[in-house]
Structure 1
């Protein structure tokens, strides 16, 4: 089977969409299938093309057997609605154009969060007369208004109509959460064509370690410190200023350090806030290459998962939960009660803290430091087995096969 997969993000980018697509496609190739990924020059989240790459009309490379076609797009940082939309639209157009040259395709998959990529996948599937699969990673454009990037308007209403059109047109929808499936059914989408494949973790890469990576620990003066780490995208959805406030409450305990590692639209604001606060217990670490992520995670004694207090985020599951489990870390999740918090509660691998509440967050960090690391860590390790990416990739492949057989 030849799978044509359209995604804005792909390694060497290390965000959740890039990682999920790569790890799924890698497993499909191992099963003997051909996978062509159409993506763009790696640039997320700073909007700068990574070293060794150029924003050319098209370039091709093979990554672990996956054929990656990189097409030219308008590149901008992950900030500003208009510029980001131009970025999305340019990828929609160029991915469609060059996707026409892919041969003997059996199925076309387009992944969100934003759905301009999915429009291109839909059009290519129609022209090639093959099944169209929508991988749903976010309820977009609702997430735009949830983070305050835009208010409800005619533009948002138009995007919502396009969104519903794509749901109806899809032969199969792969949702990354059960909550998304439930919401789509409530909005009138046929539940029989919606399957759920959660995010997961590559357990061959993310494993518990007995000591912190010496290079990072020495560079950032973290030897002998209890480290609570926020690792991942610094976006508008994450209310990271509340973690800074929690750090302020913990400043008298010199054994505790808070690290921020990654990049994103909100990173400059957080850096400025940390600088102005004068706090010495916060360590800012720039975004790291994907291959160094396990070493970065090894610095942490507890993982921080943080989201804004808005109803939409009751339905999302941050992928850093699963990487934290793979590393055997206790987890403090500060988020609206929902699917993500239920995962932590069910596994009993950490503490659920009220969203955007710096006092409770600081208390949770103190609690785990005092008596919770070993017990929570073991339960985190046990829970990770449920989210092995290899198993989930094969689960998704089974759904693709069934859809191809049903529509073919």
Structure 2
């Protein structure tokens, strides 16, 4: 957007970064504490919301105010900030709060959650535009009373650094600890693992396949408080075909994702319409088939069509059967992986930026004069 002539200001939580902002982008940080490790609680989210809003109120006038969804209730600030600046307000919904909070394990009294839900619905109806990242999310927002002409669908896109890499020569398979070269059929889960990502069925599938299919290995890559429970259950069951390695740096993302023959993406059924697993676009960008372990009516389930299967995340027997079927059919893996790569290539960061700029352009006040436009995304980085 900056390259297209917009002047962009980003308001982010946390301490000042030593990394210079790209040309045309001004970065303002609140200097506040962003909790690391465990997911923040309701108080931490509220503190972050106040810091971000307070800083944004002190900035010069902007033409478009964009709020995002972390911290959860930032949509409440959008109309207020827009009124302060005489600007258009656009909410970019990545996760639908506060309904998602219980799924993520964030405790909040039920009466407070209901009040927050009514407040968010009222705020979304006051925004000039609302972006949903999936059709199920768009439908849920529409049911909250947001008019159809104000609702836009803009799916997330894969990181441009992710690309398909062939298995032969992939150094990731020879990491310390051993993935036993290229002889194993690797089933990978890559990314954050939290309460919204049930793994009960995956552990059960690994237990079922351990003795009958010794060439199959489940590989967990990433961080999150959900890993402790999975590793504890794996030790209790004596699983030798389930291993974990830590989060990988961005410059190894293509390599780590490409090392798998089959990927797993999980989502709790209760989260349908509230989020779309972002890891799915990365999996498809490396040209690998995927088992989506989540609700069939969700956006992620629709995107898996033709390049994977949708399975109940708690059905270990069905997951085991599917993994065994893929391991026995390399031609199927190759065909579905190629379909996934083509599907991913059709929606890039450049295409998404063009679409987003067009949405923002339509919201600009009619009284705006010719100087370059200014957009301000707000998020908790």
TM-score range, shorter chain: 0.7 to 0.9
Specify the alignment match of 1:301 in structure 2.
Answer: 261
In the TM superposition, residue 149 of structure 1 has moved relative to its aligned partner by 4.8
Q: Is the 8 A contact 1:315 1:340 kept in 2?
A: no
From 306, 313, 316, the equivalent of 1:358 is 316
Please give the alpha-carbon distance, in whole angstroms, between the structure 2 residues aligned to 1:118 and 1:60.
29
Q: How does 1:152-301 map to 2 (within 5 A)?
A: 153-202=110-159, 204-211=160-167, 213-215=170-172, 217-222=174-179, 223-224=181-182, 225-252=184-211, 253-301=213-261
Q: Does 1:32 align with 2:5?
A: yes
Specify the alignment match of 1:389 in structure 2.
Answer: 349
Please give the alpha-carbon distance, in whole angstroms, between the structure 1 residues aligned to 2:340 and 2:334.
10
Distance change (3 Å), C-alpha of 1:220 and 1:387: farther
Distance change (3 Å), C-alpha of 1:314 and 1:75: closer
Please give the alpha-carbon distance, in whole angstroms, between the structure 2 residues aligned to 1:159 and 1:239.
26
What is the SS of the residue equivalent to 2:192?
Answer: coil
Q: Is the 8 A contact 2:205 2:319 kept in 1?
A: yes
Q: Does 1:333 align with 2:295?
A: no
In the TM superposition, residue 320 of structure 1 has moved relative to its aligned partner by 1.5
Higher alpha-carbon Rg: 2
Specify the alignment match of 1:140 in structure 2.
Answer: 97
Q: Is the 8 A contact 1:74 1:90 kept in 2?
A: no
Please give the alpha-carbon distance, in whole angstroms, between the structure 2 residues aligned to 1:119 and 1:59.
27
Structure 1 window deviating more from structure 2 (181-190 vs 118-127): it is: 118-127
Distance change (3 Å), C-alpha of 1:138 and 1:398: same
In the TM superposition, residue 205 of structure 1 has moved relative to its aligned partner by 1.5
Specify the alignment match of 2:377 in structure 1.
Answer: none
Please give the alpha-carbon distance, in whole angstroms, between the structure 1 residues aligned to 2:192 and 2:327.
25
Please give the alpha-carbon distance, in whole angstroms, between the structure 2 residues aligned to 1:60 and 1:108.
25
Structure 1 window deviating more from structure 2 (163-172 vs 138-147): it is: 138-147
In the TM superposition, residue 267 of structure 1 has moved relative to its aligned partner by 2.5
Structure 1 window deviating more from structure 2 (324-333 vs 64-73): it is: 64-73
Structure of greater relative contact order (alpha carbons < 8 Å, 6+ residues apart): 2
What is the SS of the residue equivalent to 2:100?
Answer: helix
In the TM superposition, residue 278 of structure 1 has moved relative to its aligned partner by 2.5
Specify the alignment match of 1:95 in structure 2.
Answer: 52
From 56, 59, 64, the equivalent of 2:22 is 64
In the TM superposition, residue 173 of structure 1 has moved relative to its aligned partner by 0.5
Q: Is the 8 A contact 2:165 2:254 kept in 1?
A: no
What is the SS of the residue equivalent to 1:259?
Answer: strand
Please give the alpha-carbon distance, in whole angstroms, between the structure 1 residues aligned to 2:250 and 2:138.
30
1:83-111 Cα deviation digits (max 9, x unpaired): 52222122212212222343342211111
TM-score with structure 2 setting the length: 0.87
From 298, 309, 327, the equivalent of 1:369 is 327
Please give the alpha-carbon distance, in whole angstroms, between the structure 1 residues aligned to 2:219 and 2:153.
33
Structure 1 window deviating more from structure 2 (370-379 vs 274-283): it is: 274-283
Please give the alpha-carbon distance, in whole angstroms, between the structure 2 residues aligned to 1:122 and 1:270.
42
TM-score with structure 1 setting the length: 0.81
Q: How many residues align?
A: 360
In the TM superposition, residue 333 of structure 1 has moved relative to its aligned partner by 0.9
In the TM superposition, residue 404 of structure 1 has moved relative to its aligned partner by 1.0
What is the SS of the residue equivalent to 1:109?
Answer: strand
Specify the alignment match of 1:85 in structure 2.
Answer: 42
Please give the alpha-carbon distance, in whole angstroms, between the structure 2 residues aligned to 1:213 and 1:40.
37
CA RMSD of aligned residues (A): 2.3
In the TM superposition, residue 140 of structure 1 has moved relative to its aligned partner by 1.2
In the TM superposition, residue 180 of structure 1 has moved relative to its aligned partner by 1.8
Specify the alignment match of 2:372 in structure 1.
Answer: none
Q: Is the 8 A contact 1:309 1:356 kept in 2?
A: no
